[in-house]
Amino acid sequence: MAVTNGTKVTPATQALPLGARIAIPIILGLAVMATWEFLVRYLAIPKYVLPAPSLIAEAFWDDFPSLMGSLWVTLSVTLSAFLIALVLGVAVAIVFVQSRLFEVSLFPYAVVLQVTPIVSIAPLVLIWVGLDHLERALLILATIVAFFPILSNTTLGLKSVDHNLQNLLDLYHATRWQRLKELQFPSALPYLLGGMKISGGLALIGAVVAEFVAGSGTGTGLAWRIIEAGNRLNIPRMFAALMLLSFLGIAIFFSLSALEYLLLHKWHESAVGREN
């Protein structure tokens, strides 16, 4: 037990090594899979109710080319929607901060888009876009879902600027562009990155839900693979597609977490390691 500035620091409060932080979740996951395999075999649960992990792995191997093709379709929609939501969210947030009138006028409508269930507006979007452009409809729906977290977090970050620093820039007669570039945007960056981690997962959810609503005409996304496998009672294949979706969501989250660390670890309190 260490003592620093009169405060006792126990090993439980100290940061775990990187290797341990990677190994512990993997070991736990393997233990859960082993328990799952054992219980399914011991209780003789039918595979159409709950398949064993070994059957899921076999289904994944047998359908590897088609599942990976579907993964690419879903991933392309997700990333495209995320990037569009990122650009639009940051741009609108900047406009909101620069003009209180625009914020008061438009922010409630952004909230309406956020709280409206995507399932309820998906049929309308499909009709408006046209059945010949279903991929475009998926992109619009996923963008709507991913847009609000970036807008909300960036707006909050742009407003969360130290007033003393704002007064300092006033003394130097800084322009709006200088104020935005040198003060507001760096201050908002942690908020933006936090919103991006939320938005990345929501973009994936939006893409999947849109595929569910649109049906078979959307091509070969993972959501349609899940529907198809369920209709055929091919539950191991359904689980394989579900796990691919989970891994995709995890990959998106950790990629954005790595970006957050790269941009913040040298200067922001949320990422700088403690000296004691």
DSSP letters, 83-94, are HHHHHHHHHHHH
CATH number listed for the domain at residues 48-264: 1.10.3720.10
- Given CA atoms 227, 248, 29, 195 in this order, what sign does their dihedral have? negative
Domain coordinates in residue numbering, the chain: 1-44, 48-264
**In the chain, % of residues over pLDDT 70:** 88
In tens, the pLDDT along 246-275 reads: 999 999 999 998 898 888 877 666 555 555
Residue 273 pLDDT: 55
pLDDT higher at 221 or 39? 39
Digit-coded pLDDT (tens) for 71-97? 998 999 999 999 999 999 999 999 988
pLDDT tens string 8-30: 444 444 567 877 778 888 899 89
pLDDT value at residue 215: 65
In the block, tokens 């500035």 appear at: 5
Kindly state the average pLDDT of the residues 38-50.
Answer: 89
Residue 217 is predicted with a pLDDT of: 52
- Identify the pLDDT of residue 168: 74
Instruction: Give the residue with greater pLDDT, 166 vs 219.
Output: 166
User: Residue 143: what residue type?
Assistant: T
Query: pLDDT-based confidence at 149, cuts 50/70/90?
Result: very high
Q: Is the pLDDT of residue 276 over 80?
A: no
Rounded Cα distance, 116 and 127, in Å:
18
- pTM for this structure? 0.83
* 6 — pLDDT class (breaks 50, 70, 90): very low
pLDDT digits (tens, 9 = 90+) for 162-215: 777 777 777 766 777 788 777 888 888 899 999 999 999 999 998 888 888 776
DSSP H/E element including 254: helix 235-264
pLDDT at 177: 79
Burial class (CB in 10 A: 0-12, 13-18, 19+), 27: exposed
Q: Which residues contact 217 (CB under 8 A, 6 or more apart)?
A: 131, 134
* Residue 60 pLDDT > 50: yes
Give, in order, the Cα–Cα distances in Å from 248 to each of 71, 118, 231.
Answer: 8, 21, 24
Give the pLDDT confidence score for residue 10 in this predicted structure. 47
Half-sphere exposure of 24 (CA within 13 A, CB side): 6
Q: How far apart are CA 181 and CA 175, in angstroms?
A: 10
Closest CA to 218 of 145, 146, 147, 139: 139
Mean pLDDT for the chain?
83
Q: Any residues with CB less than 8 A from the CB of 134 and at least 6 apart, and which?
A: 126, 214, 217, 218, 219
